[in-house]
């Protein structure tokens, strides 16, 4: 069974890609997600995966997983988790399902 697509998912990815050159409320959502991720035991590696996978031109998630020495599945899970955290901070809680974690 495939997972449903969320309309907000692409918007959150675009916010992260534009960061820090985005609107104030968008920037705050990303900054709060960065702060929350930094507190995790593997937070720096997670942020590096997000930076390489979403923010650097010409790079992708496979490259990010290789550069951070994690599996592709782990890199994908980390990136998805970060995108959801930005959405939470962006006040999209009503759009999020509880069953994605």
- Tens of pLDDT along 33-67? 999 999 999 999 999 999 998 876 657 888 889 99
How many angstroms separate the CA atoms of 81 and 30, rounded? Answer: 12
The total number of residues shown for the chain amounts to: 101
Residue 30 in this model has a pLDDT that exceeds 80? yes
- List the single range of 18-22, 29-33, 59-63 with lowest mean pLDDT: 59-63
Enumerate the domain spans of the chain: 7-96
Q: Find all residues with CB under 8 Å of 26, minimum gap 6, and list them.
A: 15, 18, 19, 90
User: What is the model's pLDDT at position 99?
Assistant: 44
Alpha helices in the chain (DSSP H): 7-18, 24-38, 43-50, 61-67, 72-89
- DSSP designation for 55: I
- At 68-87, the pLDDT tens digits run 999 999 999 999 999 999 99
Q: Which residue has the tokens 């069953």?
A: 99
pTM above 0.85, yes or no: no
């Amino acid at each position: 069974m495939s997972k449903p697509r969320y309309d907000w998912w692409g918007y959150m990815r675009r916010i992260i890609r534009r960061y820090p050159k985005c609107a104030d409320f968008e920037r705050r959502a990303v900054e709060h997600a960065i702060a929350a991720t930094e507190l995790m035991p593997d937070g720096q590696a997670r942020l590096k995966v997000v930076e390489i996978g979403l923010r650097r031109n010409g790079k992708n998630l496979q490259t990010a997983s290789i550069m951070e020495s994690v599996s592709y599945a782990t890199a994908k899970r980390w990136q998805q988790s970060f995108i959801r955290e930005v959405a939470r901070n962006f006040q999209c809680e009503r759009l999020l399902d509880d069953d994605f974690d």
